Structure 1
């Protein structure tokens, strides 16, 4: 059985660049991708809608050609730079100073796309700094600020406020429902300037803690010499430093005798013997304090081992004492004991 031959189909007219763009956009949207049309100017968005509506139908061969051409164009592009200054500003916001961002936003007007640069800077502040910032702001501004923070952080901050202030800020959330993105951006810029003017400390810790950390790592002789010198120069400062310092000679003053058995269980026997054997006569009360906190049988056993041992070198004794201090410090950090505050 033979079929009559059909006339050859006339080739489709070549698509214009606009039509090709419409084909690619329709293909992306049909596949669930977001081509970012909302970022285009309104006139271009309307033009694309009209071009897609006019196409109606294209054959498979034409579609394949358009896709291949589009892929080739993508492959030939090394780097794409947006033409819109507002988009460039949004992309570079985290790298620019607040003064430059503020000036360019004023220059670009309604086309500016405010980002989250200042808010990220504010979110990096500690709770006390954010609370201080909120003290000088209205309830509405404070509500906007909390809304731009991670929920857990915002909850921590509002939970630290006096109850009446927290209640008034919570009520202000209802009055911020219609706030515009531009207004939020301006609030962020204003608060960001406040955070930028805060003095950044040169050190993570204050002078007392820095000196205390050094003395904790120093030998006992150096530690005593420096503390004595501080007493002569600034007794009040020296007293604060002593409160942060904990060394072997502080054991009898700051460790509860009831905690010592647990401490010594974490110390190797040879280390304890070396420390006691190397304790200088003027610090003998510390050895007696530790021995008095354990059973008499164990204390006598340790005394015998100390008597049988040859005197350790100063370095060996210092190392053993530091090991005992390290156990105590770790237990304090783990919450297993509490060191008493030295008397001033």
Structure 2
């Protein structure tokens, strides 16, 4: 005769915990904590800054994750999670290492501090998670020097989008001011955060902050549409020929891919679609075309040449867009240390 005794309280509690609903954000956090730093970093590279912060915050809050919860979350993706029974223990070190691998040390520092130390996002940092048009509207009526500091503080691709929402003369003025920036005093940064405090929580740093400079201006210019980029460069050279040339020397354009070594080109090609490459090569020198095709298999190179010859005329704007897309991939891979970008002003890494 079988006994039907009720489960003990520990088993009931465990079963209840396993069956508790888990949000999509928590599932993502458990998965990233399970797959290892390198793989997790690769996933984070494809997320936006706001998504990275949300997932990172959720990961730092994980505690006492049961074996059953892990298995129920990742059973279709991983079969070897049985050995990971200490999720949530030592999470700070894991998160620091993972975010640094994914974003690079410079980008990860402030985000890590906000996630692990529970610090509030400053007014300036809040702008990083906003749409470019919204940021442009917020700073549109501020003094040009304030505008230049804000745009210097943000990532180059976001800064370029913000600049695109301003008139040509304003864009030129801001880029010139950014190129002239060097450091900003704590009091000035505090005052700027106070300006933004009307809409966001704000706090000031305690140390002098490096902002702007010619390299920052060049980085932002790299992300502007070709027409806007040319207008601003012409305007800069009219005012200061030497400054314009200095910025131009630091910019990395599509033709500079000729300076990337063969291994780097091969690594880049694995991330670039054939369709984008077919269009982008329409607007480059034969030497760069030969270099890129030379780093493909013979069959793939022949097919690409045939496609380029068989396809009809392509708009210049389409060529420029394809080249910008490939350059964005190249810069992302360079930031991750996967390839080395040469050329320009001789900078080894962008």
Larger Rg: 1
Bin for the TM-score computed over the shorter chain: 0.3 to 0.5
TM-score of the superposed pair, with normalisation by structure 1: 0.36
